[in-house]
Structure 1
Amino acid sequence: MLHHCLHNFGLGENECIVHADNCAGQNKNRYLLAYFCWRILLGLHRQITYMMQIPGHARCLVDSNFAHIKRLYKRSDCNSLEQLRSIVDKSSYSNNAVLYAEEESWMWSDWVQFFSEHFDPLKGLRRFQIFRFCHDSPGYVLCKKSSDGEEIPVRLLKSDVRHFAHDARPPEISPGGLTRERQAYLYSRIRPFVTNPWKDVTCPPVQNEE
Structure 2
Amino acid sequence: MASTTILALFLLSVLTFNPPSTTAQPVTDLHGNIVRNGGRFFILPPFTVAGGIRRTKTGNETTPLSVVQSLIEVDPGLPLTITSPFKSLFIPNGSPVSISFELIPNDESPLEWTAVPGLPEGTLVKVKGYPHTLPGSFSIHRVRDNTFKLLFCTLGSSLCGNVAIVEDEAKNRLLAVNQKHPYEFVLEQLPSSSAASK
The TM tier, using the shorter chain, reads: under 0.3
Instruction: Give 1 or 2: higher helix fraction.
Output: 1
Larger radius of gyration: 1
Q: TM-score w.r.t. structure 2 length? A: 0.21
Q: TM-score w.r.t. structure 1 length? A: 0.20
Instruction: Give 1 or 2: higher strand fraction.
Output: 2
